[in-house]
Amino acid sequence: MPEQQSTPFSADGPTGIWADFRSDTVTRATPAMRRAMAEASVGDDVYGEDPTVNALQERIAALTGKEAALFCTSGTQSNLAGILSHCQRGDEFLTGRNNHVMVNEVGGAAALGGAVPWPLEIDEQGCFTPDDVRAAVKEPDQHHPVTRLLSLENTVNGHVQSVDQIADLIAAAREHDLAVHLDGARLFNAAVAEGVGIDAYCADTDTVSLCLSKGLGAPVGTVLAGDQDSISRAFRIRKMLGGGMRQSGHLAAAGLHALDHHVDRLVEDHDRAGRIADGLRSIDGMEAVHATNMVWATPPADHHDGLVAHLEAAGILMCFWKPTLRIVTHLDVDDGHADLLVDTVGEFLGRT
Ligand SMILES: Cc1ncc(COP(=O)(O)O)c(C=O)c1O
């Protein structure tokens, strides 16, 4: 059985749901995005003939300061193609214990590519240190896998790592000739929060994966960017994974539209998450941590189940991960939804 919560959706969207804060992946394409998708010039991308896919790939290559880029179906496919472009069977990659490639991608790098993940311990913000990286690299020894790659993530659960933090981690990896992949599913959130260009984060990586279907609001798609050799290898792996698409320019058009219209506005999502966290903290017994477009809220333990039932009955969705609630802001929620959430929590805890 899928683990997603079952919700009463109709073809036009959720019914009986007032505000969906489960993830920034739940957005629906805006009317302008749908027009851009419908009107896109397309060709067969397996033949390299889709002008809109080519334009998106060139755009992301330029934005990241990389030689090439590859349009993938999802963040999972893009991370897998990126990791396997660096690792052979039996090679090891280092990554954070709770990073998405470690725990949420079905073990694909190990199952399909024979690459062995080595989890690094993390702090409360999901970070590990350059010394953690150095200490995890295996000595050359017939018993060990060859440590080949460091796989980073930014943001991690909404938490931003600065450009300097990422540069220090990469420097530690380079001391041991490791390749570096960055899962940037929400790297635009990090860049906007830090007030830097996305290229500042990508400069020293070999490959970087950027999702268009999270905060940027496209219905599908992730782009892997890197040097030409890495992307050429990833291109073959994507094909092996069934990711060679045909007139995918219709999808790429959504990504181009998102880059034009939905990057600068991420600051609104961050501010709105801050508004929710402030509101929740003002309610007796509620704790809330704000990180970019996410809020991690902890109600009093004995009220958790009752609060979840109350929110669901009110049509407000979030990830109810006991003891914590994850609330994510995105294109399809506004200040009215944010205030409704805070008022509904306050109303429940005020009367318990
Ligand atoms: C940090 C991170 N990386 C990768 C992914 C995978 O993206 P997708 O769902 O498109 O496969 C996600 C999805 O939520 C994510 O949060």
Residue 253's CATH number = 3.40.640.10
**Burial level of 105, CB count in 10 A (0-12/13-18/19+)?**
buried
The span from the CA of 214 to the CA of 102, in Å, is 19
**122 and 205 together in one domain:** yes
**230 and 254 together in one domain:** yes
Substitution candidate for ligand 1 out of 211, 293, 326 with most atoms within 8 A of CB:
211
Residue 18's pLDDT is 84
**174 and 68 together in one domain:** yes
User: For residue 188, how far is its CA from the centre of ligand 1 (angstroms)?
Assistant: 14
**219 and 166 together in one domain:** yes
**Amino acid identity, position 5:** Q
**76 and 218 together in one domain:** yes
**58 and 193 together in one domain:** yes
**Residue of the CA atom closest to atom 13 of ligand 1:** 75
Residue 110 lies in a domain: yes
DSSP secondary-structure letter at 116? E
pTM above threshold 0.85: yes
Q: Tell me the percentage of the chain whose pLDDT exceeds 90.
A: 94
Name the token pair of 33. Answer: 């995005």
Structural domain that includes position 178? 40-261
Residue 35 lies in a domain: no
Number of domains in the chain: 2
**Residue of the CA atom closest to atom 9 of ligand 1:** 75
Residue 34 lies in a domain: no
**253 and 176 together in one domain:** yes
**Residue of the CA atom closest to atom 5 of ligand 1:** 75
Atom number in ligand 1 closest to CA 99: 1
Residue 201 lies in a domain: yes
- Which of 229, 261, 293 is a domain's end point? 261
The predicted-structure confidence for 186-214, as pLDDT tens digits, reads as follows 999 999 999 999 999 999 999 999 999 99
The CATH number given to whatever domain includes residue 327 is 3.90.1150.10
**145 and 275 together in one domain:** no
Low-confidence ranges of the chain (pLDDT < 70): 1-15, 352
Residue 205's pLDDT is 98
Q: In what helix (H) or strand (E) does residue 136 lie, and over which residues does it extend?
A: helix 130-136
Name the token pair of 52. Answer: 């809109």
Question: 202: number of CA atoms within 13 Å, CB side?
Answer: 27
**Residue of the CA atom closest to atom 4 of ligand 1:** 75
- Cis peptide bond prior to 323, omega within 30° of 0: yes
Residue 15's pLDDT is 59
**220 and 309 together in one domain:** no
**329 and 280 together in one domain:** yes
**216 and 343 together in one domain:** no
The span from the CA of 317 to the CA of 86, in Å, is 39
Residue 352's pLDDT is 64
Residue 4's pLDDT is 41
Question: 12: number of CA atoms within 13 Å, CB side?
Answer: 2
**163 and 279 together in one domain:** no
The span from the CA of 74 to the CA of 249, in Å, is 15
Residue 8's pLDDT is 45
Residue 14's pLDDT is 54
Q: In what helix (H) or strand (E) does residue 319 lie, and over which residues does it extend?
A: strand 319-321
The span from the CA of 351 to the CA of 346, in Å, is 8
Lining residues, ligand 1, CB within 6 Å: 74-76, 79, 100, 153, 183, 185, 211, 213, 222
The span from the CA of 77 to the CA of 263, in Å, is 23
- Which of 243, 261, 279 is a domain's end point? 261
- Which of 261, 279, 306 is a domain's end point? 261
